[in-house]
Structure 1
Amino acid sequence: MWIASDDGVRGVSRGEAIRAAADTPMIVMNAPLVGQRLGYADLSGLDILELFAFLRPARFMVPTPKGLATVTGLDVPASDSDIAPFLRTAALRLLEITDGDWPEREGAWAAAQTLARLRWSWGPLLASRLRKPARDEPWLFSRLPEWEESAPRPAPRAISLDADATQRTLTTLVGAAAEPRQGQRDFAAAAAHAFSPRVGRDSPNLVLAEAGTGIGKTLGYLAPASLWSRTAGGAVWVSTYTKALQRQLGHETQRVYPDEAERRARVVTRKGRENYLCLLNLEDALQGGFAGRAAVLAQLVARWAAYTADGDMMGGDLPGWLTTLFRRNGSVALTDRRGECIYAGCPHYRKCFIERAARASADADIVIANHALVMVNAARGRETATRPSRYVFDEGHHLFDAADSMFATALTGQETIELRRWIIGPEAGSRGRRRGLAARLSDVASYDEAGAQAIADAVKAAHGLAAEGWLQRIIEGAPFGPIEALLASVRALTFARAEGPDDAGYGLETELAEPSPELIEAAAHAAEALDALYRPLVVLGKRLEAVLNDAPDWLDGQARARVEGAIASLGWRAESVSAWLALIARVGAPASPDFVDWLAVDRVEGREYDIGLHRRWLDPTRPFAEIVLKPAHGALVTSATLTAGGTWETAEARVGAPHLTGAAARFEAASPFDYAGNAEVIIVTDVKRGDVPALSNAYARLIEAAGGGTLGLFTAIRRLRGVHARIADRLARAGLPLLAQHVDPIDTGTLVDIFRDDPHASLLGTDALRDGVDVPGHSLRMVVMEGVPWPKPTVLHAARRLAGGGSAYDDRIVRARLAQAFGRLIRSRGDRGVFVLLSAATPSRLLDSFPPGVPISRVPLDEAVARVASRLSSRAGLGHEAAPAA
Structure 2
Amino acid sequence: MNEKYVVIDLETTGHSPVNPDKIIEVGIIIIENNEISGEFSTYLNPDRPIPPFITNLTGISDQDVYEAPVFQDKAAEISALFDNSYLVAHNVPFDLGFLNGELAATGFSELHNPVLDTVELARILFPQAPGFKLEQLADYLNIVHDEPHRALTDAHMTAKLFLKLMKKLRSLPYETITHLLNLETGLKSDLYALLYEQQQSLAFANDKHENMDNYRGLAVKKTAEDNPEKQHTEISFGHFLDAIYEADGTMEKHMFQYEKRPGQREMSETVFDAFQSKNHALIEAETGTGKSLAYLLPAVYEAITANKKVVISTYTTQLQSQLLDEEIPFIRKLVSFPFKVALLKGKQHYISLEKFERALASEQTDNYDITLTKAMILVWLTETETGDIDEIQLPSSGYLFYRQISTDTERTIDPSSPWFSRSFYQKARRKAQQADILITNHALLCTDMFNDFQLLPSYDKAIIDEAHHLEETASKHYGLTLHYVYVQNLLNLIGEANDGEWLGELLNVLQGNHDTGAFSGIEWNDVFSKTKNEVDDLFRTLFQYVVEQKQKSKSLSDIGRIQYRFDENMEDPAQWTVIQEMVTRLTFYLRDLIHLLSSFKQQFVKANHTDHYDLEDLTTHMEALQSIIDRLEKLFLMDDDSVKWIELEAYGAKNAVYLYSEPTDISTMLANDFFSQKESIILTSATLSIRNSFSFSQTRLGLPSENLITAKINSPFPYQEQVQLMIPDDFPDVRYGNSDDFIHATCEAIISLAQITDGRMLVLFTSYDMLRKAYYLLRETIDINKYMLIAQGISSGSRSRLKKNFQMFDQSILLGTSSFWEGVDIPGQDLSCLVIVKLPFQPPDHPVYEAKSNQFKHEGKNAFFEMALPNAVIRFKQGFGRLIRSSSDRGIVFVCDARIMKAKYGKFFTDSIPPVPITHDSTQRILEKAEEWF
Q: Which residue of 2 aligns with 1:341?
A: 410
Equivalent residue, structure 1, for 2:875:
817
Q: CA deviation at 1:608?
A: 3.5
> Is 819-828 or 636-645 further displaced after alignment?
636-645
CA distance in 2, matches of 1:369, 1:871: 44
For residue 294 of structure 2, what is the aligned residue in structure 1?
A: 220
Residues 774, 385 of structure 1: alpha-carbon distance in 2 compared, 3 angstrom cutoff:
closer
Q: Is the 8 A contact 2:527 2:589 kept in 1?
A: no
1:420-460 superposed Cα distances (whole Å, 9 cap, x missing partner):
789xx444466665899999xxxxxxxxxxxxx9x99xx99
Give the Cα–Cα distance (whole angstroms) in 2 for the partners of residues 233 and 256 of structure 1: 18
Distance in 2 separating the partners of 1:708 and 1:810: 33
Please tell me whether residue 807 in structure 1 is matched to residue 884 in structure 2: no
Does residue 65 of the first structure (1) align with residue 135 of the second (2)?
Answer: yes
Contact 1:759 1:780 in 2 (8 A): no
Cα pair distance change 1:57/1:175, threshold 3 Å: farther
Quick one: which amino acid aligns to residue 469 of structure 2?
A: H
- The farther-off stretch of 108-117 and 842-851 is 108-117
Give the equivalent residue in structure 2 for 1:398.
469
Mapped contact 2:120–2:189 kept (Cα < 8 A): no
Deviations 1:394-426 (A, max 9, x none): 01111121122221134665666678789xx44
1:346-495, aligned counterparts within 5 Å?
Answer: 348-380=419-451, 383=454, 386-410=457-481, 413=484, 425-428=494-497, 467-474=531-538, 488=541, 494-495=546-547
Q: Whose Rg is larger?
A: 2
Q: Deviations over 1:462-514 (max 9, x none)?
A: 979994344533477xxxxxxxxxxx4x5565444333264679424143133
Structure-1 separation of matches of 2:411 and 2:502:
11
- 1:304 and 2:380 correspond: yes
> Which residue of structure 2 aligns with residue 91 of structure 1?
158
- Structure 2: which amino acid aligns with 1:196? Q
Aligned to 2:664: 618
What's the CA shift for 1:46?
Answer: 7.7
Task: Kindly state the Cα deviation for residue 169 of structure 1 after the two structures are TM-superposed.
Answer: 6.0
Q: 2:723 is matched with which residue? A: 679
Q: Is the 8 A contact 1:240 1:246 kept in 2?
A: yes
Q: Quote the residue 1:548 is aligned against.
A: none
1:839 has 2:839 as partner: no
**Retained in 1: the 8 A contact 2:833–2:894?**
yes
Give me the whole-angstrom Cα distance separating, in 1, the residues matched to 2:715 and 2:376: 45
Deviations 1:561-616 (A, max 9, x none): x99x99999999988866765554545xxxx5x53344x25233153345576432
Superimposed CA distance per residue, residues 97-149 of structure 1 (whole angstroms, 9 cap, x where no aligned partner): 35757996557866775675334247489769979644477779633257899
1:877 paired residue number? none
Q: 2:814 aligns with which of 752, 763, 777?
A: 763
User: Pick from 845, 856, 878: which aligns with 2:918?
Assistant: 856
Say whether the 8 Å CA contact 1:197–1:633 is kept in structure 2: no
CA displacement, residues 631-665 of structure 1 (integer Å, 9 cap, x when unaligned):
2222100011111478311120132204xx84311
Deviations 1:677-713 (A, max 9, x none): 1011222455555335554444344334322332222
Q: Which moved more, 1:616-625 or 1:604-613?
A: 604-613
Contact 2:221–2:382 under 8 Å retained in 1: no
Contact map agreement 2:117 2:188 (CA 8 A) in 1: no
Sort the Cα spacing of 1:509 and 1:235 in 2 relative to 1 into closer, same or farther, 3 A: same
Q: Which residue of 2 aligns with 1:511?
A: 566
CA deviation vs aligned residue, 1:536-571 (integer Å, no higher than 9, x gap)? 99xx99xxxxxxxxxxxx9x9x999x99x9999999
Of 54, 65, 74, which residue of structure 1 is paired with 2:144? 74
Relative to structure 1, the CA distance from residue 114 to residue 843 in structure 2 (aligned partners, 3 Å threshold; closer, same or farther) is farther
Q: Is the 8 A contact 1:72 1:93 kept in 2?
A: no
SS in 2 for 1:608: coil
SS of corresponding position for 2:724: strand
SS of 2:532 mapped into structure 1: coil
Matched, 1:670 2:670: no
Give the drift of 1:275: 3.4
Please state how far the C-alpha of 1:669 moved relative to its aligned partner: 1.4
Q: How far apart, in 2, do the equivalents of 1:343 and 1:817 lie?
A: 42
Residues 1:632 and 2:678 are matched in the alignment: yes
Q: 1:187 to 1:10 in 2, by over 3 A?
A: farther
Going from structure 1 to structure 2, the CA distance change for 1:223 and 1:421 (only over 3 Å counts) comes to farther
RMSD value, Cα: 5.3
Q: C-alpha separation between the residues in 2 aligned to 1:653 and 1:466? A: 49
Q: Deviations over 1:846-870 (max 9, x none)?
A: 3543434312223455555554444
- 2:798 matched to which residue of 1? 747
Check 1:414–1:397 CA distance in 2 against 1; reply closer, same or farther (3 A cut): same
Q: CA deviation at 1:360?
A: 2.0
Structure-2 change in CA distance of 1:707 and 1:131 (3 Å) = farther
Over 3 Å counting, the alpha-carbon distance change for 1:695 and 1:632 in structure 2 is same
Match of 2:25 in 1: 4
What is the Cα deviation at residue 16 of structure 1?
13
Higher relative contact order (CA 8 A, sep 6+): 1
For 1:527-538, list aligned pairs within 5 A. none
Task: For structure 2, list consecutive stretches of 5 or more residues without a partner in the other structure.
Answer: 1-11, 14-23, 27-40, 55-70, 72-77, 80-86, 98-114, 509-517, 599-607
Q: Are the aligned partners of 2:761 and 2:833 in contact in 1 as well (CA < 8 Å)? A: yes
Whole-angstrom CA distance in 1 between matches of 2:418 and 2:496: 24
Return closer, same or farther for 1:114/1:334 CA change in 2, 3 Å cut-off: same
Partner residue, 2:688: 642
Distance change >3 Å, CA 64–CA 421, structure 1 → 2: closer
Assess, with a 3 A threshold, how the Cα gap between structure 1 residues 778 and 427 changes in structure 2: closer, same or farther.
same
Identity across the alignment (%): 20
Distance 2:418 2:899 in 1: 62
Per the alignment, residue 756 of structure 2 pairs with 705
Given candidates 284, 287, 291, the residue that maps to 1:210 is 284
Deviation of 1:241 after TM superposition, in Å, equals 1.3
TM-score normalised over the length of structure 2: 0.70
Contact 2:274–2:709 (CA under 8 A) maintained in structure 1? no
Give 2:679's aligned amino acid.
H
* 2:188 partner SS: coil
- Asked if structure 2 preserves the Cα contact closer than 8 Å seen for 1:144 and 1:351, the reply is no
Cα distance, 1:217 vs. partner? 1.1
**Are positions 1:596 and 2:671 aligned together?**
no
Shift, 1:189, TM fit: 0.9
Q: Would the alpha carbon gap of residues 847 and 176 (structure 1) be closer, same or farther in structure 2, given more than 3 Å must change?
A: farther
Q: What CA distance in whole angstroms lies between the structure 1 residues aligned with 2:349 and 2:847?
A: 31
User: Is residue 736–residue 762 contact of structure 1 (8 Å, CA) maintained in 2?
Assistant: yes
Secondary structure of 2:564's counterpart equals: strand
Matched with 2:276 is: 196
3-state SS in 1 of match to 2:678: coil
Q: Compute the displacement of 1:715 (Å).
A: 2.3
CA distance in 1, matches of 2:565, 2:134: 46
* Corresponding residue number in structure 2 for 1:174: 251
Q: Name the CA shift for 1:236/1:833 in 2 (closer, same or farther; >3 Å).
A: same
Q: Distance in 1 between matches of 2:365 and 2:677?
A: 44
Change (3 A) 1:702 1:87: farther
**Amino acid across the alignment from 2:458:** R
- The verdict on how the C-alpha distance between 1:604 and 1:494 changes in structure 2, with shifts beyond 3 A counting, is closer
